[in-house]
Amino acid sequence: MKSIASKEDRPPGRSARSGKAAAAIAAAALAFAGELQAAETAVTIRADQPGPTINRNIYGHFSEHLGRCIYGGYWVGEDSPIPNVRGIRVDVVQALRKLHPPVLRWPGGCFADTYHWKDAVGPRDRRKPILNVHWGNVLENNHFGTHEFMDLCEQLGAEPYFCANVGSGTVQELADWVEYTTYGGRSPMADWRRANGREEPWKIRYWGIGNENWGCGGNMTPEYYARLFRRYATYVRSYPGNRVFKIACGANSFDYRWTEVLMRDAGRYMNGLSLHYYCGSGKKSRSATRFDEGDWFFQLRNALRMEELLRRHIAIMDRYDPRKRVALIVDEWGAWHAVEPGTNPGFLYQQNSLRDAMVAALTLNIFHRHADRVRMANIAQTVNVLQAMILTDGPRMLTTPTYHVFEMYKVHQGATYLPAAVECPDYAFGGEKIPQVSVSASEDKQGRVHISLVNVDPNRPAPTRCRLEGFRPGRVSGRILTAPEMQAHNTFDRPDYVKPAPFGEARIDGGAIVLRMPPKSIIVLEASGAAEK
Strands 507-509 and 41-46: unpaired
- What's the 3-state SS for 303-347? HHCHHHHHHHHHHHHHHHCCCCCCEEEEEEEECCCCCCCCCCHHH
CA–CA distance, 262 with 267 (Å, rounded to integer): 6
Please report the sign of the dihedral spanned by the C-alpha atoms of residue 182, residue 183, residue 188, residue 193: positive
Do residues 494 and 469 lie in contact, with contact meaning Cβ atoms separated by under 8 Å?
Answer: no
Cα(221)–Cα(227) distance, rounded to whole angstroms? 10
| CA terminus-to-terminus distance, the chain | 32
What gap in Å lies between CA 201 and CA 185, rounded to an integer?
Answer: 9
**Cα 486 vs. chain centroid, distance in angstroms?**
20
242 in Cβ contact with 204 (< 8 Å): yes
Count of C-beta atoms within a 10 Å radius of residue 397: 20
Q: Which residues does the annotation mark as catalytic?
A: 212, 332
Collect all residues with Cβ–Cβ distance below 8 Å to 305 and sequence separation of at least 6.
Answer: 277, 279
Long-range contacts of 489-494 (CB under 8 A, 24+ apart): 489/288, 489/289, 489/351, 489/352, 489/353, 489/354, 489/400, 489/401, 490/352, 490/391, 490/398, 490/399, 490/400, 490/401, 491/398, 492/391, 492/393, 492/396, 492/398
Sheet-wide strand order for 471-481: 416-418, 437-443, 449-455, 521-531, 471-481, 501-502
The per-residue DSSP string of 54-117 comes to: --GGGGEEE--SSTTSTBTTTB--TT-SS-EETTEEHHHHHHHHTT---EEEES-SGGGGG--G
